[in-house]
Each structure stands twice: as C-alpha cells, then as structure tokens.
C-alpha cells in the first residue's frame, strides 16, 4: 500500500504546481472579464446605475456608481493581467459584500443556498482565492517577481 501512496504523492507533487497556475489563470480571466463587463456597463449606463443606487438608498449614488463601476472595470483588467492581484482583490471583495448587503438583500439569507445562489457569490469566491493564493506564475505579478529575484541574485 505504501508504494502506491508514494507514487500518488509523487504525481501530486509533479502536477500540482502547473495545474495550480492554470486554474488560477482560468479563474482570473473568467471572473476578471465578468468584472470588466459589469463595471463598464455601470459606467456606460451611468444614469441608470445612479438611479438604481438611489433606489437602494446608497449615499452619494453618483459618486458610488462611478467608484463601483471604475473599480470593477479596472479591477477586472488587473485580474486578467495578474497585476496587483492581491491588492485589487480587497476593493473587489468589499464591492461584492456591499452588493450582498444592498442589491441582493431582498433575496434573503435564510439558507446557505440563498447565499450561494446570488450573483456576487462566484465573484466573491474568486477574489478570496486570488487574495489568499495570489495570481499564480502565469501573471504579470509572477513575471515581475521572477525579474526581481533574478535582479537581486
């Protein structure tokens, strides 16, 4: 039994790092693109977004519509590129929490399903993953880190 477990552990050690990079890249690109589309839509239809934020009783709706739209649009592009990934994950997480507390509060939170079935859930999950694990090696952050390491060696 031990030789089989050793082989599995060896395979895991060999394939995990490349797979981790690919999964992080996939998550960054897919959710980053969705953030970009959401943010650019908010800015393109600014008056409608401002009116929606007014209906949600968000203070300074014009300011916050621009802030959220810009954060999502620029944050999405930064996620796609893998640049300042951990840093941009924080305001995106805050934005998704505020979305839960304002735009999605009517759906209620009576169960875990109510929480996970709402639109911000996947955005929030990916931002938490990129905050904790970073962007992966296939990113501008990874490229800069490798360049910096080679420069200082």
pLDDT in tens, 78-131: 999 999 999 999 999 999 999 999 988 877 677 888 888 888 999 999 999 999
How far apart CA 66 and CA 46 sit, in angstroms, is 8
Burial per residue of 32-50, b for 16 or more beta-carbon CB atoms within 10 angstroms, e otherwise? bebbbebbbebbeeeeebb
pLDDT at 140: 95
Please determine, for residue 142, whether its predicted confidence score (pLDDT) is greater than 70: yes
pLDDT at 15: 66
pLDDT in tens, 16-65: 677 889 999 999 999 999 999 999 999 999 999 999 999 999 999 999 99
Give the pLDDT band (50/70/90) at residue 9.
Answer: low
Please determine, for residue 1, whether its predicted confidence score (pLDDT) is greater than 70: no
């Amino acid at each position: 039994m031990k030789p089989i477990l050793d082989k599995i552990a060896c395979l895991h050690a060999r394939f995990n790092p490349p797979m981790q990079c690919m999964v992080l890249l996939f998550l960054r690109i897919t959710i980053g693109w969705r953030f970009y589309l959401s943010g650019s839509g908010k800015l393109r239809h600014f008056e409608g977004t401002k009116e929606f934020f007014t209906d949600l009783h968000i203070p300074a709706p014009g300011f916050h519509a621009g802030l959220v739209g810009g954060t999502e649009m620029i944050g999405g592009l930064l996620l796609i590129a893998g640049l300042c990934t951990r840093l941009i994950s924080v305001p995106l997480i805050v934005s998704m929490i505020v979305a839960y507390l304002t735009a999605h509060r009517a759906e209620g939170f009576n169960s875990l399903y109510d929480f996970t079935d709402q639109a911000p859930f996947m955005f929030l999950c990916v931002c938490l993953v990129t905050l904790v694990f970073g962007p992966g090696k296939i990113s501008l952050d990874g490229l800069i880190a490798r360049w910096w390491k080679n420069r200082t060696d």
